[in-house]
Structure 1
Amino acid sequence: MEALFWTIEEVAQRAKQFYEHGIRQQVEHGDNIGKMIVIDAETGEYGIDKTGVESALRLKQKSPNARLFTMRIGYDVAVSFGHAPMVRTVE
């Protein structure tokens, strides 16, 4: 499958599907809770480390065009893409 034109949402959705349908059962235990998992949204290949940086570099080295998604093991949210606008109140 060609990942070149995937949106951020599509990358996240595919990576989460890999996580929910196989990876979770393998990685959500003791020492991994709180670590970062980086998932290749095209292949389902993944890596785990404290910050996710080493895993991302390894996966990118194998496949330079990989679409990666990072999340914290055992938590619902780890990374946010983009940014929220600042809200200012005027008095």
Structure 2
Amino acid sequence: MQSIFWSVEEVAQRAKQFYENGIRQNVEYSDNIGKMIVIDAQTGEYGIDPTGVETALKLKQKNPNARLFTIRIGYDVAVSFGGAMERTAE
């Protein structure tokens, strides 16, 4: 199978579309809130586990060229990397 070359933004957009257009209503219930969902941006296949690692490994085993995206269920952002920190005068 040939690799698909998408930007990070394209992978995120496709995965979020899958999530919003069908996956969300199947997974957002109390037992899953806070768990990680890993979505194959090409196929829409997904899996859920506490960290996303096991699911990512399984999806990559099925398709080594999979473009994966991870979302924390029930939250808008899975991981946030902040901006610069400034030192203030005392």
Over the residues paired in the alignment, what is the CA RMSD in angstroms? 1.8
Which runs of at least 4 in structure 1 moved beyond 6 Å after TM superposition? none
Residue 8 of structure 2 is matched in structure 1 by: 8
The 8 Å contact of residues 47 and 55 in structure 1, kept in 2 or not, is answered as yes
* Gapped regions of structure 2 (runs ≥ 5): none
Give the structure-1-normalised TM-score.
Answer: 0.86
Correspondence list, 1:50-69, <5 A: 50-69=50-69
Q: Percent identity?
A: 73
The 8 Å contact of residues 37 and 73 in structure 1, kept in 2 or not, is answered as yes
Q: 1:46, CA displacement in angstroms? A: 0.2
The 8 Å contact of residues 34 and 73 in structure 1, kept in 2 or not, is answered as yes
3-state SS of paired residue (1:71): strand
Residue 77 of structure 2 is matched in structure 1 by: 77
Larger radius of gyration: 2
Q: 1:79, CA displacement in angstroms? A: 2.8
| Cα distance in 2, alignment partners of residues 28 and 76 from structure 1 | 12
Aligned residue pair count: 88
1:33-52 alpha-carbon deviations (Å, 9 max, x no partner): 00000000000000100000
* Gapped regions of structure 1 (runs ≥ 5): none
